[in-house]
Amino acid sequence: MSAIPAPRRVLVTGASSGIGAATVRRLRDDGWAVVAAARRADRLEELAAETGAEAYPLDITDDAAVTALAEHLEATGGLDAVVNNAGGALGLDPVERADVEGWRRMYDVNVLGTLRVTKAVLPLLRRSAGAGGGSDVVVVTSTAAHGTYEGGAGYTAAKHAERMLSTTLRWEIVGEPIRVIEIAPGAVATEEFSLVRFEGDAERAAAVYEGYQPLVADDIADTIAWTLSRPPHVNVDLLVVRPRAQANNSKIARTGV
C-alpha cells in the first residue's frame, strides 16, 4: 500500500487579518498545510484554532526573525510555496508634505520585507521543486504598482519597487521549476487597510468605499488560490483584479451599485 503524500505546504505573510487571513482560510479549505505568519500572535492563534493552520509570529522587517523562520520551515518539512502578502499604506500626503519616516516604513514592509522572506525561503522552494511538481512565489502587490494617484507617491513607489522585485526574480530564475506570480488588487475593503492608512480615522477610511461595491478579502484569496492551482507548466505572471466600478487608481464610478 503506497503512502499518502503529505499536503503541499505554503507560507502566508501578513496573515493576521484581511487578505492574509482570508488566504489562510481558503488554502486550508483547498487542502494546503499553511504556516500563517504575522506580528500579532493573539490573532494568529485564533486563526490557527479556526483553520488548523500553524501560527508563526513574525516581523518581516527583522532580519534575524526571518532567518529563524526559514530554519524552522526547513526543520519541519520544507516549503512548496510562499504568499508574500504583508504590506500596507501610510498616509495620503502630497510629496511636498511627505512623512519621510512613513515612506521608510512602507518601503521596509512592502519591499524589503518581501525581499527578506523570498531570499530566506528560496532554497527551500528549490529543494521542493526539485523533488517534482514545482514551487511558487506569490507576491501580492497592488494596482498602485502599475499606476499612481495624487497623495499616493510613497505607497505607489513602494509597490512599484515590489513589482520590479518580483518581475526581476522571474527573469533571473527562468528555467527553474519555480513560478513567480504577481497579484495586483484594486480597491479591497478590509477591516484594517484604510484604517491604518488614516491612523484610525474610521470615517475617512469608510469614505474610501462609499457609493460602490469594492472587492473583499475573499475575492483576492480566491484569485491567489486559483493561480496556485494551475498546472505546473502554467505561470500567471500578473493578474490585476479590480471591482467593476473601478477603472483605474483614481477613477471609480460611485453609482451606489
- Comparing CA positions, the residue from 48, 55, 86 lying closest to residue 72 is 55
In a domain, 2, yes or no: no
In a domain, 4, yes or no: no
Which residue type is seen at 113? Answer: G
Q: Which set of grid coordinates corresponds to residue 11?
A: 507560507
Q: pLDDT (tens digit, 9 = 90+) per residue, 208-236?
A: 889 999 999 999 999 999 999 999 999 99
Helical H runs in 93-252? 100-107, 113-130, 153-172, 193-197, 202-207, 217-228
In a domain, 3, yes or no: no
Q: pLDDT (tens digit, 9 = 90+) per residue, 24-76?
A: 999 999 999 999 999 999 999 999 999 999 999 999 999 999 999 999 999 99
pLDDT of 194:
66
CA distances from 43 to 56, 112, 132, 222 (A): 11, 24, 34, 21
101 CB neighbour count, 10 Å cutoff:
9
Looking at 56, 149, 155, 209, which residue is catalytic?
A: 155
Which residue type is seen at 103? Answer: W
In a domain, 39, yes or no: yes
Percent of the chain with pLDDT over 70: 95
In a domain, 1, yes or no: no
User: Which CATH number characterizes residue 139's domain?
Assistant: 3.40.50.720
Give the lowest-confidence range in 129-138, 193-202, 203-212, 240-249.
193-202
Task: Say which DSSP state 174 is in.
Answer: B
Number of domains making up the chain: 1
Residue 2 has pLDDT above 50, yes or no: no
Q: Which domain holds residue 145?
A: 9-252
Q: What is the mean pLDDT of residues 186-201?
A: 76
Helices 217-228 and 18-29 pack at an angle, to 10 degrees, of 50
In a domain, 137, yes or no: yes
Q: pLDDT (tens digit, 9 = 90+) per residue, 63-113?
A: 999 999 999 999 999 999 999 999 999 988 999 999 999 999 999 999 999
Residue 198 pLDDT class (50, 70, 90 cuts): low
CA distances from 183 to 9, 37, 144, 152, 242 (A): 20, 19, 12, 19, 11
pLDDT of 202:
75
In a domain, 108, yes or no: yes
CA distances from 126 to 175, 245, 257 (A): 12, 40, 46
209 catalytic per annotation: no
